[in-house]
Amino acid sequence: MKDAIRNTKYFIGRFLRPHFGLLAAVFLAGIIAAASSGLGIPVIVKFVFPVVFHSAGDDVPELLRLCPSLAAWEHGTLLLVCCALLPLIFLLRGVALWTNAVLVNLLGLRILETLRTEVFDRVQELPIAFLEQRRKGDIISRIVADTQNVQAILSTVANDLIKQPVTALCSMAAFIWLLIMSGQGILFVLNLVFIGLALWPIMVFGKRISAKAQRAQESLGELNTTLQQNLETQREVRAYSLEKREVAEFRADSERYCTQYNKLVKYQKAIIPLLETVTALALSILLVRGRMAGMEFTDFIAIAGSLFFCFDGLKRAGLAFNRFNEAQGGIRRLAEILQAPNTIPDPAEPKRFPQPLRGDIDFRHVTFAYDDGPAVLHDINVHIPAGQIVGLVGPSGAGKTTFAGLIPRFYEATQGAVLVDGLDVREVTQHHLREHIALVGQQALLFSGTIAENIALGKPGATAEQIAAAADAAAVSKFLDSQSEGIDTMLGQGGSGLSGGQRQRVAIARAFVKDAPVLILDEATASLDAESEREIQEELDKLARGRTTLIVAHRFSTLRNADRILVFESGRIIGDGSHEELYAACPLYKELYDRQGV
Ligand code: ADP
């Protein structure tokens, strides 16, 4: 519970506070609506009805006794005013409720927008390892579904947790006052017992609802993961006839979600009937007691009305409280992202590289482990002078990609330091560091947009000439003729519409336009066929020229221009030299090389 309150405080402070004015208007409208229901209606029944139903010979109605000046009014006018009071109160209540509902909705939309964007923004900042350890579908579910859930709840909290208790309190005030006036103190005591009875299920169910809601949201995250994975692997699914298996998995996830959600609904929906039964019980006791004490009918109706509104307020406050509990699941899941410590922070007083950057790279006693796992790089000491082309080879899982990822600070060395031009990468901002590094990965990931736009991503503000020059250098120009609108052809998501080799060329053009002094080629041709690889190799050689280049090599053919090769095995560099030196002196290198029969 402490956690829930701390998290909620954090969310309220961060996402409600900026909308303080709107929130105040919501409160005001809510309080007017609450007071007109809780106080207005019982008071009308108690004071106005007796004036309307007054017959000659009856006692003077209470209202006229309290305000003798009204007695001087002409009878017809008084009746008219009295009868008009009821629709007036309902009009006031209606306008206040409408304003309240519209403003709450607006508040909700604003919260949702800020919340969603903040979570998305946070995802861009968090270390890559944090995201790699989570399933994409689950993160999408948090950004889309959990934010919506939390928004719905924050606006309910902002509204009902104030409005409904105020209704309950106003009706309670009316109720006590009416009881005191008709000398029924005992009913008040009885009523307190019933209020206690009403609060009990709200509190007990609250805890269950919070736990069930979190489980339901988690199941939804799993469902999204399965869906997303399936859409990403459609080719494999069809090629291996996995459709039935996929459908079965999706159905199982979907059923799990339904079961979890159903459990949540069972608790949610039990609150109203329970509270209504308690209300009916309280009313029947009032009926018996009223009959025994010979209570006036209008007194009885007024007291029953206030009692009804009091329990109705409690019921709605209870529902709001449970919605609040339900939100805790989503809040916890969002807090995990929003409050996750940034383990790769920028320095408080960042330095800048001397310009132009040469691209000298130095690993000093670098040890690295993913989170709490075992070290995957052990005490690496290696100096790569500016302009050197270095190949990284070794069995799969030996640590090559991790080693290369430490340079742009995708990961943070657990011990030791990585230096670029003599500056520790932790001393400059990540943005400044990455401005000087170009990366071409195994699968060129392109964005929706034109080919030119995709190339231009390498350098914000690149001119059309620079883009065209990069396209030429990467031989993108060679296949532009086959595209409907040349370089301005729109690409689908992920670059659909281009072959693997063509996509890779666009990615290489992006690196050309970036013109960074450090280049990382992470198995850049591994996903291509031999023919495309040969073609692309030329462009890659051109790109590497004059830059410090790290080539994570899958095939030895990509290393023909390497000045130096580092051989990795189980997180250690066990060989360092030219091809000839290593072939003669490093058995692992010789074995790997011979196996490929280059
Ligand atoms: P290589 O590039 O040589 O194939 P990697 O650098 O990808 O090797 O991986 C080195 C080791 O780190 C492997 O044992 C791999 O399982 C582990 N590893 C890679 N990425 C992660 C990750 N995101 N979280 C945990 N372990 C990882």
With 90 as the cut, is the pLDDT of residue 211 above it? no
pLDDT at 262: 92
pLDDT at 95: 92
Using an 8 Å Cβ cutoff, are 576 and 564 in contact? yes
Q: Is the CB of 400 under 6 A from ligand 1?
A: yes
Q: Determine the average pLDDT of the residues in 218-224.
A: 87
The Cα–Cα gap between 26 and 19 comes to 11
Mean of the per-residue pLDDT values of the chain: 84
Q: Is the CB of 129 under 6 A from ligand 1?
A: yes
User: Bigger pLDDT: 574 or 461?
Assistant: 574
* Spacing, Cα 406 to ligand 1 middle (Å): 12
Q: Is the CB of 401 under 6 A from ligand 1?
A: yes
Q: Is the CB of 591 under 6 A from ligand 1?
A: no
* Spacing, Cα 57 to ligand 1 middle (Å): 96
pLDDT at 4: 67
Residue with CA closest to ligand 1 atom 25: 370
- Tens digits of residue pLDDT in 55-96: 777 777 777 777 778 777 787 887 788 888 878 888 998 899
Locate the ligand 1 atom nearest the alpha carbon of residue 522 and give its number: 2
* Spacing, Cα 62 to ligand 1 middle (Å): 84
Using an 8 Å Cβ cutoff, are 504 and 536 in contact? yes
pLDDT at 494: 66
pLDDT at 391: 94
Q: Which pLDDT band holds residue 475 (cuts at 50, 70, 90)?
A: confident
- Tens digits of residue pLDDT in 356-399: 899 999 999 999 998 888 999 999 999 999 999 999 999 999 99
**What is the percent of the chain where pLDDT is above 70?**
96
Q: Determine the average pLDDT of the residues in 311-339.
A: 81
Residue with CA closest to ligand 1 atom 27: 370
Using an 8 Å Cβ cutoff, are 309 and 167 in contact? yes
Locate the ligand 1 atom nearest the alpha carbon of residue 128 and give its number: 23
Cα 35–Cα 41–Cα 44 angle in degrees, nearest 5: 120
User: Bigger pLDDT: 299 or 407?
Assistant: 407
* Spacing, Cα 395 to ligand 1 middle (Å): 11
With 70 as the cut, is the pLDDT of residue 105 above it? yes
Q: What is the DSSP string of 272-327?
A: HHHHHHHHHHHHHHHHHHHHHTT--HHHHHHHHHHHHHHHHHHHHHHHHHHHHHHH
Q: Which residue out of 133, 376, 554 has the highest number of ligand 1 atoms within 8 Å of its CB and is therefore the one to mutate? A: 376
pLDDT at 383: 96
Using an 8 Å Cβ cutoff, are 122 and 337 in contact? yes
Q: Which pLDDT band holds residue 161 (cuts at 50, 70, 90)?
A: low
Using an 8 Å Cβ cutoff, are 161 and 321 in contact? yes
Q: Is the CB of 504 under 6 A from ligand 1?
A: no
With 80 as the cut, is the pLDDT of residue 160 above it? no
The Cα–Cα gap between 131 and 126 comes to 7
Using an 8 Å Cβ cutoff, are 426 and 347 in contact? yes
Q: Model pTM?
A: 0.70
With 90 as the cut, is the pLDDT of residue 482 above it? no
Locate the ligand 1 atom nearest the alpha carbon of residue 403 and give its number: 6
Question: SS3 string of 535-590?
Answer: HHHHHHHHHHCCCEEEEECCCHHHHCCCCEEEEEECCEEEEEECHHHHHHHCHHHH
Locate the ligand 1 atom nearest the alpha carbon of residue 392 and give its number: 3
pLDDT at 349: 92
Locate the ligand 1 atom nearest the alpha carbon of residue 404 and give its number: 6
pLDDT at 495: 67
Per DSSP, the three-state class of 450 is: strand
Q: Determine the average pLDDT of the residues in 423-447.
A: 89
Residue with CA closest to ligand 1 atom 21: 370
The Cα–Cα gap between 344 and 360 comes to 22
Q: Which pLDDT band holds residue 577 (cuts at 50, 70, 90)?
A: very high
* Spacing, Cα 245 to ligand 1 middle (Å): 28
- Tens digits of residue pLDDT in 249-262: 999 999 999 999 99
pLDDT at 272: 79
Question: SS3 string of 196-262?
Answer: HHHHHHHHHHHHHHHHHHHHHHHHHHHHHHHHHHHHHCHHHHHHCCCHHHHHHHHHHHHHHHHHHHH
- Tens digits of residue pLDDT in 127-137: 888 888 778 88
Locate the ligand 1 atom nearest the alpha carbon of residue 523 and give its number: 2
Q: Which residue has the tokens 């999706």?
A: 250
With 70 as the cut, is the pLDDT of residue 450 above it? yes
* Spacing, Cα 221 to ligand 1 middle (Å): 25
With 60 as the cut, is the pLDDT of residue 598 above it? no
Q: Is the CB of 399 under 6 A from ligand 1?
A: yes
User: Bigger pLDDT: 139 or 40?
Assistant: 139
Per DSSP, the three-state class of 415 is: strand
* Spacing, Cα 550 to ligand 1 middle (Å): 17
Of 75-89, 310-324, 569-583, highest mean pLDDT:
569-583
* Spacing, Cα 374 to ligand 1 middle (Å): 11
Of 17-31, 471-485, 494-508, highest mean pLDDT:
17-31
Q: Which residue has the tokens 């604003």?
A: 110
Structure tokens at 108: 């909700």
The Cα–Cα gap between 51 and 507 comes to 85
With 70 as the cut, is the pLDDT of residue 1 above it? no
User: Bigger pLDDT: 588 or 534?
Assistant: 588
Using an 8 Å Cβ cutoff, are 312 and 167 in contact? yes
Residue 98's CB is within 10 A of a number of other CB atoms, namely 12
The residue type found at 380 is: I
Residue 26 dihedral angles phi and psi, to the nearest 5°: -60, -45
Q: Determine the average pLDDT of the residues in 226-246.
A: 85
CB under 8 Å to 530, separation ≥6 — which residues?
none
* Spacing, Cα 397 to ligand 1 middle (Å): 5
- Tens digits of residue pLDDT in 511-563: 999 999 999 998 877 777 777 777 778 888 888 888 999 999 878 888 888 89
User: Bigger pLDDT: 177 or 162?
Assistant: 177
In angstroms, what is the C-alpha Rg of the chain? Answer: 36
